[in-house]
């Protein structure tokens, strides 16, 4: 890729730019199972809520926002506390330029600092090679990054008049120690990120 990519922690002020990236995925793809584009206020609230406990990172090229990635809880029960779910969205037209890989790499580093051990991705999947709303590119992307198949929910999502499978993929970021280290909220480590050897 010719232009350098800058990755940093998202701010609430980034919400309009990130929503502009997300909205086409809602309206024209089955990548997300949301039917309606969230309001700017709701989207800003989502970012703020995420940053209280997990990273949300943005990528930019020449100061233009090109994508974002974030993590959230896998489930709410306490025993799931060392597992998280990741998502990434790249601006239309800028896919396959390595931006998603850079974002995921940085996201994984931050989550490991928080002592998150397992990272999961919930990925819509289609059996139709000519599906107009979805490719299986995300499955290939995660495989290249070292994620492995953890399970499939058959035809559990319905969008655009079609049924879609959901594939769960996982990656272990840290060894499974006993007892495991306590999870650190993102807010606790955020102030130190600028001085750490991260790809941010």
pLDDT, mean of each 10-residue run, the chain (200 residues): 82 97 98 98 97 95 95 96 98 92 96 97 96 97 97 98 98 97 91 61
Q: What is the pTM of this model?
A: 0.93
Residue 1 confidence (pLDDT): 47
Sketch the domain layout of the chain as residue ranges: 5-183
Residue 27 confidence (pLDDT): 98
Taking the C-alpha atoms of residue 157 and residue 159, their distance in angstroms, rounded to an integer, is 7
Taking the C-alpha atoms of residue 129 and residue 44, their distance in angstroms, rounded to an integer, is 35
Residue 187 confidence (pLDDT): 85
Residue 127 confidence (pLDDT): 94
CB contact at 8 A, 10 and 54: no
Residue 199 confidence (pLDDT): 52
- DSSP secondary structure string, 140-165? HHHHHTT-EEEEEEEEEEEETTEEEE
CATH superfamily for domain 5-183: Gcn5-related N-acetyltransferase (GNAT) (3.40.630.30)
DSSP-derived 3-state class of residue 196: coil
Which phi and psi angles does 148 have, rounded to 5°? Answer: -120, 155
């Amino acid at each position: 890729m010719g232009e350098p990519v800058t990755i940093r922690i998202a701010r609430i002020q980034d919400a309009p730019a990130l929503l502009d990236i997300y909205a086409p995925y809602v309206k024209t793809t089955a990548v997300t199972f949301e039917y309606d584009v969230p309001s700017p206020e709701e989207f800003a609230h989502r970012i703020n809520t995420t940053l209280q406990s997990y990273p949300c990172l943005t990528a930019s090229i020449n100061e233009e926002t090109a994508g974002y990635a974030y993590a959230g809880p896998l489930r709410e029960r306490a025993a799931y506390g060392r597992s998280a779910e990741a998502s990434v969205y790249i601006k239309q037209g800028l896919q396959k330029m390595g931006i998603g890989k850079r974002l995921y790499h940085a996201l994984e580093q931050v989550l490991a600092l928080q002592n998150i051990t397992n990272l999961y991705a919930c990925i819509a999947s289609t059996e139709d090679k000519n599906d107009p709303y979805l490719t299986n590119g995300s499955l290939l992307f995660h495989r290249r990054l070292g994620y492995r198949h953890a399970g499939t929910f058959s035809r559990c999502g319905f969008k655009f008049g079609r049924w879609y499978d959901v594939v769960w993929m996982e990656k272990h970021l840290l060894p499974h120690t006993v007892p495991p280290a306590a999870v650190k909220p993102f807010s606790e480590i955020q102030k130190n990120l600028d001085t750490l050897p991260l790809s941010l």
